[in-house]
C-alpha cells in the first residue's frame, strides 16, 4: 500500500463536480462530472421483488447501463458486470434479504475515464440512497504513454496516445484493491507503479466524497 505520508499535491485529477438528489423519483441519485466526462446514476431499493428472484441471504442487486447512443453493446454488459461486482463488495446486502436493489447508470458524456466516473458516481448515489455499506469505493484511471510515463485521469488526447490504459478501484478502509482493469501492453513494473499512483490519488476521490456528504448532510439538517 502507498505511504500515508504521500503529498496529495503531487497527484492531479480533473475537476470533480457532483449533484445528489438529481432525480426525484429514485431513492438515491447523483450526477458526477470528472472533467468533461459525465455520468448519471440512480438507485432504487430495497424493493419487493418476485419470489423467484429473491435471495434469503441478501438483497438481489441489478445494474443497468444505458449508453448515450441508446443501443446496447458488449461493452455495456462489461460495465454492468464490473459495477455490480464492485457494489456487491461494498453493500451490506445481508441486511436486506428477499429484496432487490437496482442501480441504473446513464452515460451523459465520455471524454476519457468514463468507467472510473461511473463507479465513483455509483458510490455517491448509494450513499445518497442511505444504504448500509461495509466501505465506500473509489476508482482512478490512468494511461501509460510510449515513453512509459503515467498520466492519471487521462484526457482524450492522452488516451489516444496511450499504449496502455488502466482503471483501479479501492476501498475506503485500507485502500485495498477491489478490482482492476487493464488494456494494452505494459511491463510488470509499470503496472505496479500505476497501481500505487492510483492508490494514492484515490484519497482525492474519498476526500471529495466527504465534502459532498457533508454538504448534503448540512442541507438535510
Q: Which CATH number fits domain 13-220: 3.30.565.10, 3.50.50.60, 3.30.230.70, 3.90.1300.10?
A: 3.30.230.70
Tens of pLDDT along the chain (221 residues)? 344 445 666 678 999 999 999 999 999 999 999 999 999 999 999 988 888 888 888 999 999 999 987 776 777 888 898 899 999 999 999 999 999 999 999 999 999 999 999 999 999 999 999 999 999 999 999 999 999 999 999 999 999 999 999 999 999 999 999 999 999 999 999 999 999 999 999 999 999 999 999 988 754 43
- pLDDT tens per residue, range 45-66: 998 888 888 888 899 999 999 9
Percent of the chain with pLDDT over 70: 93
User: 39: Cβ–Cβ under 8 A, 6 or more apart, which residues?
Assistant: 31, 32, 105, 106, 107, 108, 114, 117, 118, 121
Domain ranges, ordered by start, for the chain: 13-220
pLDDT of residue 220: 43
Q: Supply the pTM of this predicted model.
A: 0.91
28 phi, psi to nearest 5 deg: -165, 145
* Alpha carbon distance, N-terminus to C-terminus of the chain: 37
Please give the C-alpha separations between residue 153 and each of 12, 29, 39, 50, 191, in angstroms, as whole numbers: 8, 23, 15, 41, 15
Amino acid at each position: 500500500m502507498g505511504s500515508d505520508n504521500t503529498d496529495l499535491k503531487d497527484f492531479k485529477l480533473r475537476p470533480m463536480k457532483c449533484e445528489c438528489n438529481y432525480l426525484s423519483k429514485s431513492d438515491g441519485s447523483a450526477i458526477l462530472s470528472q472533467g468533461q466526462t459525465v455520468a448519471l446514476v440512480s438507485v432504487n431499493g430495497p424493493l419487493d421483488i418476485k419470489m423467484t428472484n429473491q435471495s434469503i441471504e441478501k438483497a438481489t442487486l441489478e445494474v443497468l447501463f444505458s449508453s448515450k447512443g441508446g443501443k446496447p453493446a458488449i461493452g455495456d454488459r462489461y460495465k454492468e458486470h464490473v459495477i455490480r461486482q464492485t457494489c456487491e463488495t461494498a453493500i451490506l446486502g445481508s441486511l436486506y434479504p428477499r429484496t432487490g436493489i437496482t442501480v441504473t447508470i446513464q452515460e451523459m458524456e465520455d471524454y476519457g475515464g468514463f468507467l472510473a466516473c461511473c463507479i465513483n458516481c455509483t458510490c455517491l448515489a448509494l450513499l445518497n440512497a442511505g444504504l448500509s455499506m461495509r466501505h465506500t469505493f473509489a476508482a482512478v484511471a490512468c494511461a501509460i504513454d510510449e515513453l512509459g510515463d503515467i498520466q492519471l485521469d487521462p484526457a482524450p488526447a492522452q488516451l489516444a496516445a496511450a499504449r496502455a490504459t488502466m482503471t483501479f478501484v479501492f476501498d475506503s478502509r485500507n485502500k485495498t484493491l477491489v478490482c482492476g482493469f487493464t488494456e494494452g501492453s505494459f511491463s510488470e513494473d509499470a503496472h505496479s507503479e500505476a497501481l500505487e499512483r492510483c492508490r494514492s490519488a484515490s484519497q482525492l476521490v474519498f476526500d471529495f466524497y466527504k465534502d459532498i456528504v457533508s454538504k448534503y448532510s448540512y442541507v438535510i439538517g
